[in-house]
Each structure stands twice: as C-alpha cells, then as structure tokens.
A and B are shown apart, each in its own frame.
Chain A
Amino acid sequence: MIRLPDPKPDVLAKRDAVIAGLRAAVADDEGVIADRISLKPYETDGLSAYRQMPLAVALPSTTEEVAAIMRFCHANGVRVVPRGAGTSLSGGALPMADAVVVGLMRMNQILDINYPDRCATVQAGVTNIGITNAVSDEGFFYAPDPSSQLACMIGGNVNMNSGGAHCLKYGVTSNNLLGLKIVTVDGEILSIGGEHLDAAGYDWLGLLTGSEGQLALVTEITVRILRSPEGARAMLAGFASNEIAGECVDAIISSGIIPVALEFMDRPAIHACEAFAHAGYPLDAEAMLIIEVEGSVAEQDDLLARLTTICNRYNPVSMRVSQSAEESLAIWKGRKGAFGAIGRISPDYLCMDGVIPTSQLPAVLRRIQEMSDSYGLKVANIFHAGDGNLHPLIMFDANDPDSFHRAETFGADILKLCVEVGGCLTGEHGVGVEKRDLMPFQFAEHELEQQRRIKSAFDPDWLLNPSKVFPLRAPTAVPRAA
C-alpha cells in the first residue's frame, strides 16, 4: 500500500464540525457526503489498486461554493483533494483519511461557445467529449482526446495536462487553453488569461496546467476549439521486427508529413486487440503502425500514397490503406479497444506511461521483454510513435499480492529505463501517487525542493492534494515560501 502522510489528529477529531462547515458552504443538502456507504465510491480512482476513505465529500455547484469550501477548509487546516470523474491512472484523486474530496462533477455546464473567436468556456465537470459534442454541429472539435474522453472531465484534463492519440499535430491540453477561473487555497476567485492568446506577465496558465490539483482548484476553463478537417483516413502496416517498424517511423517523420496520429503496437498488443476486436490486424507481424492523415479526399490519397511508398521500403508483412471512413474506424477499433482487450486476457493490468526518445524504441522494447521474462509477467506495448509516449500494459493477478508487487516493481523498472535513455516518467497520466517515489530518478533533491517552493507559494500550508507528486518526508521538513 502506498504511504500517505499521517492524518492530522485534530482534523479527524472535529469531523462533525468539518461536515457542518461544508454543509454551510454548499447550498444543496445532498452536496455533502458523510456516511460511509455513500463515501465508498470516492475511495479510489482509475488506479484502483490504491484505496483510502476520505473524511467527507463536497459536491459544489458553483465557483462561489468552491470558494466557500476552500475558505472553510483553509481556516480549519483541512486538506482538500480535488476530483473530476475519478479516471486518473496515477492516483491523482486518491483521498486521504483527513481530507475533504471536492468533486466538481456537478459543475457540468457549457457556459459560452464563441465560434468567431474559436473558443468555448465550460465548467470543470464537463466531460472531454462533451465539449466536442457541443460544437460538432458547427463542424468544430476540442483537440486533446485522452482515451478516457467519454468519462474524464476537462477540469481533470487541465490538472493532469492530458494528451491523447492526436497530440503530434494538435498538442496536449496546455496547448489548447486560453483561460481559467481558479479558486485559491484560501478561497479567492481569480481569472487567469481569458479569450485571448498569450496574456502578459508570468504564464500562470502554463504552470497551473498539469499541476495535479496542488496549486489551486480549477472551476472554469476557456478552451480553443478548432474546425474539423474535411476528412481523415487511416492505414495500417505490419513489419517483421520492432526495429524495422521504428525505422519506418523515422522515415515518415523525415519525409515532411505530419500524420495526425502515428500509433505503434507490438506483437502481444496486436494479438490481444485482434482477438478482442477482429479488426483484421496482421497476426504474423512483430510490430504494427496505424497512421492517420487528414484533408480532402485528394489530399488523403496523396498523403497515403506517399506513406505507402515509404512503408514499402521496409518490406511490410502486410499493409492496408483504408478506402473509406468505415474502414478507418475498423482500423482504429482494435487500438481503441486495447484496454478492454488486455482486460480480457488478464483481469488486472497496470497501464504505464513513460516517454522515450523515439530512436530508443527497439532497445527499450528488448529490455522490457527481458524484464517481462524475469518478472514472469506478460506485457503488451502501445506507443504514440510520433511523440515517444510509451504505454506498456503489465498483466498481473490482483488476488495474488506477490503478483501485484512484481507488477509494480516491473513498472517502476520500465519508468527508470525511460529516464535512463533520455526520456521521462510520465507523458500524460501525471505523477500522482503512482510515480511519486520515482521522482528522485528524474530530479535531483534541490530540483524537487525548487518545485516544492513553487507549490508553497500557492499553498503555504500544503493543504491541496499534498500526498501526490513529491516523495513524502517528515512533515516538519516541508519548506515554506520565504
């Protein structure tokens, strides 16, 4: 079990008073949850191996209610864990025994859509896909598309700086934001940015994005919306080895084409997805690429022809260029169902999220296979090949504590390997509690200390999501801003 900071005894002791304070801050009687059965769904998130019941849950409906909650919690030294849909794969929304979970799912209103200025202002509890759905009739979309996009909420996306399969062209969350409304730890409501680009002064928008709920609560977000391309089409190509597929990725990037998606799957991932989705994936290939391009039909034809020529130079064991939107969907079907596919083979799996320089892919996959053999756990690899984001899916049995422990150690070894070859611990899932204790592999102590000081500048008493991102240490040693 992951270690959490010791609960504050005084806060535990005044639980009833805390609940009363929250009820005073939230107008709706059902906006505060205090009984154990109703609290149960909040004890974990997408990293369900870790569980911890919170002190209470508050479900505000307005930014003003969030501010009232924060004023109360701040005045009473109560820790706060922000939560959106609870889809974090790194345990970003894992509660603490003495913490109030502030769930923003009731704040699910689209406040404004401004097509001439190509932006939309929404509350934090709107789902990622909900933004695209709200603007798709006019031909627009919100670009970052994490695979949890049906469920995950934009407030969580901002806090984790979520990515997706199409970041190579469209960027991640931070590249698609214009403004935020935030509530500070002491309950002040602040506007950051607006509907314009590049506000003068320090880039608070950039710093807050990906800050994992540790600097402020985000209640409203102004996102950029983009006009959808005329169309998109995918192709797939299977290769005889990871090395050859990797060389083909290099050749595509070098050709001047920026595919909107460039996904790589290794043999175990191909087999798992094919068995699940019957997408027609090449079972004789060691590695497979899904490449998607955008534009008019003629532009798609031209780009797919160029890509076919490139792929042919690497003797593909199979290649299929979709001729229609339906065929493209079929190609994507297996990839999009990857988590379900792995879930069918193995009841439990860990989805890792390292990043590596793309040139290191073959070597890294070889090392992962060696580790898989030595840990005795199967692994399948899915890779956003354009941007180096590697998702090894480690299969284990949660009923066997030893299997879970080996899976965790295996995962940590993979992430250390990512750092060793010049990459990083996390590309889009965040550090959370999951990778917290690996941070010293990527940062020296004085660098972590510098980041802690920035957190302290926003949250001097470390009340906001304090058990995440930074390795724990004695509470007395937590630095305060000078």
Chain B
Amino acid sequence: MTPTEAEAAIAGQIAAARDPLLIRGAGTKFGMLRPVQAAGMISTAGLTGITLYAPKELIISARAGTPLHEIEAILAAHGQHLIAEPPDLSALLASPPNTQTLGGVVATNLSGPRRVAWGAMRDHVMGVRAVTGRGEVIHSGGRVLKNVTGLDLCKLLTGSHGTLGVMTEITLKVLPAPEAVGTIVIPGLEAEKAVAALSAALGSPYGVSGAAFLPAEAASWLPDRIAPGRSLTLVRIEDFAASVAYRSAKLMAELDLFGAVILDDAASRKLWARVRDVRLLPVMNGEGIWRISVRPSSGPGVLRSVPGAVGYLDWGGGMVWFAGAPTETTHRAIEAAARAAGGTWTLMRAPDALRSAVNVVPPEAAPLAAITRRVKRAMDPRGILNPGRIYSGL
C-alpha cells in the first residue's frame, strides 16, 4: 500500500520528532483520562473526507479527521446508521458540539446505549490505516465485513487514545437504520427492581436495543418531565414500525410493568439522544465525571456506593455514569466500587491536578503491565505519541 501525501507528511513529522507529540482530531476529548505534556502536535484536522461509501456492502471509509456528523448525515440519507451510536460528549467535556471527528470517536472507543445489544465502536471497525510511532504507515483489516488475516491491530488501535499510532483512515461496518423507535418507560422503580426489569427485557426475544435506569435526580434533567420526582426505567425497541408496536406490547404484557407508558418515535429519539450524550448529570460546577463498567446486576450497588456522587445506569445496568466532587476522595470511592464489583473505571473529566495524580483507568497486573510496555515500545519505540495519556510513564 502506498501512503497518501498527508500520511507521508505525518510519518515524516513523527520520524523527525525528538519530543513528545500531542495527537489531536478536533480536540473535543482532551478532558478525558490524563493530560499530555507535549511540545509538538499532530493534527488530523486536514485529513477529511469520505473515501468510500458502499451502502449495499454496509461499509463506509473516511479519513480520520472527518467530522462525525458528516458521516452520520450521509448514512442517514441512505437509511443507514452507525451501529454503536457513538455519543457526543461535548456537553460533558465542555467542548464545542458537533465537531468531534471519526478518528476521535474510534481512538476513544466511545459507544452509546445501543452498545448493550449491537456491540461497541471497536466491534465495527473493519479497517484502519495508521502512522506508527516509527513513522511507518500501516494498515490492518480492510473494507470487507469479515477478516481474520493477521493480528487484529484494528482492535488494538481502537480505544488506544492515540498512544500507539495516528489513525489516518477508518472503515466501519454500518447497518440499515431502523424504521421506528419506541420506548417503554416505567416510573418509580428503585434501582434493583429496575435492573431486574432491564435484565428481563434484554433477556427476552424482543430485540431490546437500549436499557437504562435514571434515578429521580438524573430524570429531572429531561426537558419533558414524564413522571416528576420519580425514577425512570427505560427500555428501547428499534425495528420496523409494526415490530416495534408488537414487541412493546409483548414486553408490557410479559414483564408486568405496572404503570408503564410507551413513548412514541419522536419522543424516544429525543430521550435516547440525551442518555447517549450523558446530558443527565450536573456539569456546571466543575464536577468530576466517571464511568464504571460492571456486570449489569452490580450496577445498583455501585450506584449507591459513592457518597456525594449522583449518577445513572445505561447498558442494562452495566454502565454507571457518575458526577461528583472532583477530589481524590471521590475517585478512591469510585475505584473501590468498581473493584468490589469486578469491573473497571474511567475518569472522564476532572481538573488536571486530579487527572495527573490518580489512576484514570485501573492499573494492570504486573505481568500484563509488562506486556503493555513492550507493546507500546513495539508500536512507538521512542514513546513520543501521547505519552502518559492512559498510564503514567507510558
């Protein structure tokens, strides 16, 4: 494969660099994880454009700096969508809305509510081109839906936060967008009962594609007050209109959802966009934001175990979003809660001092951490790509 001119330029810049480089798309996610100290910068802002869209093959390729909304728009025009429903966290991360890039979303492996049923961003990255820390342009995967040829560096690069390579072009699997969306809303459940209902719904044959629990405080952020002062348990179904109606009715009947109401298509889309974009937490006073991934049945316990923090559950209970005082005390409570439940945490937003001082993701067991260091060296031997972004000293 021949590097493009832009890839060659990035490769040259990396090869010539003596000091650490900050890897930047639109810069909307600098608030996540640890701050990077770097003298130079590599921007993918100039790497834009959709390079291949084959709707009949369920494949789209674009350069890494392409704004995600451009990709979503062309897909929508063809009745298709991004399967993992990636969020726009600009409200949370205090960055401009609608500017995040494809590369940024893939490098952070951010997925929305549909993840629980249809997979994460990483599950739909079919191909990647990237410049490594050696200044070499490599590709992994391709533009087909099934590929086990060689090591899956698509998976390794997805979610690596620019620490192993600079992705220049990404190919995603896409799917037909559902014709209709419906939501069952159950007011007033406490967390355990809510997650039991979500588990029953996700364990039903009715193709549930969203399952969230909003305690009363999170629910109060919704513009349309459905049941003021009460918690909301949300179950989404996406399919052909007749199927949405049929499946909602079956779930209502089988799950004994007392007092439940059904939201129509328009209201459902608005509601789930808010759940997806985490616009259900206080962010005005510099709160720290964390997310914890656990087995769904552990979600309610985790939700209660961080004093002073407020949160809500997505992914059937398995994804806990928290807002709390941006202090080491809160962070330690988050760590303890995640550990006790056998899950992992990610510090999504906090002042630089806190981000630099704590483990923003769980530290790895010593033998695995040694592998991590060797893999980092294998991809970036001089340690110049986004050093320290995920782990201190790496």
- Interface of A (DSSP majority class): loop
Distance of B375 from chain A, by nearest CB (Å): 4
Q: In this complex, what residue of B is CB-closest to A296?
A: B246
A431 CA to B152 CA, complexed, in Å: 12
* Contact residues, B180-230 vs A (CB, 8 A): 196, 199, 202-205, 207
B72 within 8 A of A: no
Q: Which residues of B contact A168 (CB under 8 A)?
A: 145
Distance of A117 from chain B, by nearest CB (Å): 4
Contact present for B149 and A450 (CB under 8 Å): no
How many chain A residues touch the partner (CB < 8 A)? 96
Q: In this complex, what residue of A is CB-closest to B204?
A: A227
| Residue in B54, B196, B371, B378 whose CB lies within 8 Å of A116 | B196
Distance of A237 from chain B, by nearest CB (Å): 18
Residues 263-300 of A, flagged 1 when their CB comes within 8 A of B and 0 if not, give 00000000000000000000000000000000110110
Distance of A80 from chain B, by nearest CB (Å): 17
Contact present for B146 and A172 (CB under 8 Å): yes
* Contact residues, A181-232 vs B (CB, 8 A): 184, 186, 188, 190-192, 194-207, 209-211, 227-230
| Residue in B58, B149, B342, B367 whose CB lies within 8 Å of A424 | B149
A451 CA to B156 CA, complexed, in Å: 11
Q: Given contacts A427-B146, A428-B146, A450-B136, is CB(A199)–CB(B344) below 8 Å?
A: yes
A469 CA to B318 CA, complexed, in Å: 37
A168 CA to B175 CA, complexed, in Å: 10
Contact present for A355 and B147 (CB under 8 Å): yes
* Contact residues, B53-112 vs A (CB, 8 A): 54-59, 79, 109, 111
Which of A172, A196, A229, A457 counts the most chain B CB atoms within 10 A?
A196
A256 within 8 A of B: yes
Which of B136, B295, B343 counts the most chain A CB atoms within 10 A?
B295
| Residue in B144, B159, B293 whose CB lies within 8 Å of A356 | B144
Distance of A455 from chain B, by nearest CB (Å): 7
* Contact residues, A157-188 vs B (CB, 8 A): 160-161, 163, 167-168, 171-172, 174-175, 184, 186, 188
Contact present for B54 and A196 (CB under 8 Å): no
A133 within 8 A of B: no
Contact present for A198 and B146 (CB under 8 Å): no
Q: Which residues of A contact B146 (CB under 8 A)?
A: 163, 167, 172, 355, 384, 387-389, 427-428
A167 CA to B173 CA, complexed, in Å: 12
A456 CA to B373 CA, complexed, in Å: 12
| Residue in A190, A198, A429 whose CB lies within 8 Å of B109 | A198
Q: Which residues of B contact A194 (CB under 8 A)?
A: 295, 342-344
Q: Which residues of B contact A481 (CB under 8 A)?
A: 374, 377-378
B331 within 8 A of A: no
Q: Which residues of A contact B240 (CB under 8 A)?
A: 256, 302
Contact present for B205 and A455 (CB under 8 Å): no
Contact present for B294 and A196 (CB under 8 Å): yes
Q: In this complex, what residue of B is CB-closest to A179?
A: B342
| Residue in A117, A188, A227 whose CB lies within 8 Å of B367 | A188
Q: Which residues of A contact B54 (CB under 8 A)?
A: 357, 359
Contact present for B318 and A256 (CB under 8 Å): no
Q: Which residues of B contact A40 (CB under 8 A)?
A: none
How many residues of B sit at the interface, in one of the four size bands? 35 or more
Contact present for A203 and B159 (CB under 8 Å): yes
Q: Given contacts A190-B368, A454-B156, is CB(A359)–CB(B344) below 8 Å?
A: no
Q: Which residues of A contact B159 (CB under 8 A)?
A: 198, 202-203
A184 CA to B368 CA, complexed, in Å: 9
- From B18-26, B117-125, B350-358, give the one contacting chain A: B117-125
Q: Given contacts A198-B120, A482-B381, is CB(A254)–CB(B148) below 8 Å?
A: no
Q: In this complex, what residue of B is CB-closest to A429?
A: B148
Contact present for B151 and A117 (CB under 8 Å): no
A383 CA to B138 CA, complexed, in Å: 29
Distance of A150 from chain B, by nearest CB (Å): 21
Q: Which residues of A contact B176 (CB under 8 A)?
A: 253, 255-258
A155 within 8 A of B: no
B264 within 8 A of A: no
Distance of A118 from chain B, by nearest CB (Å): 6
Distance of B315 from chain A, by nearest CB (Å): 6
- From A26-34, A123-131, A326-334, A440-448, give the one contacting chain B: A440-448
A5 within 8 A of B: no
Contact present for A211 and B123 (CB under 8 Å): no
Which of B158, B202, B378, B391 counts the most chain A CB atoms within 10 A?
B378
A423 within 8 A of B: yes
Which of A205, A428, A443 counts the most chain B CB atoms within 10 A?
A443
A119 within 8 A of B: yes
Contact present for A442 and B150 (CB under 8 Å): yes
| Residue in B1, B158, B175 whose CB lies within 8 Å of A258 | B175
In the assembled complex, 20 residue pairs joining A and B whose CB atoms fall closer than 8 Å, in A order, are A116-B297, A117-B199, A194-B342, A196-B344, A197-B115, A201-B390, A204-B368, A204-B371, A206-B154, A257-B176, A296-B246, A302-B243, A357-B59, A359-B54, A443-B139, A450-B136, A450-B153, A451-B153, A456-B378, A482-B381
Query: A196-B343, A302-B242, A454-B153 known; 15 other A-B pairs, CB under 8 Å?
Result: A115-B203, A174-B152, A175-B123, A188-B367, A198-B120, A211-B151, A227-B203, A253-B55, A253-B57, A254-B56, A256-B177, A355-B146, A424-B147, A446-B136, A481-B378
A→B interface (CB under 8 Å): 114-119, 139-140, 160-161, 163, 167-168, 171-172, 174-175, 184, 186, 188, 190-192, 194-207, 209-211, 227-230, 250, 253-258, 295-296, 298-299, 302, 355-359, 384, 386-389, 422-431, 435, 439, 442-444, 446-448, 450-451, 453-458, 460, 469, 481-482
B→A interface (CB under 8 Å): 1, 54-59, 79, 109, 111, 115-116, 119-120, 122-123, 132, 134, 136, 138-140, 142-156, 158-160, 164, 175-177, 179, 196, 199, 202-205, 207, 240, 242-243, 246, 293-297, 315, 318-319, 342-346, 361-362, 364-365, 367-368, 371-372, 374-375, 377-379, 381, 390-391
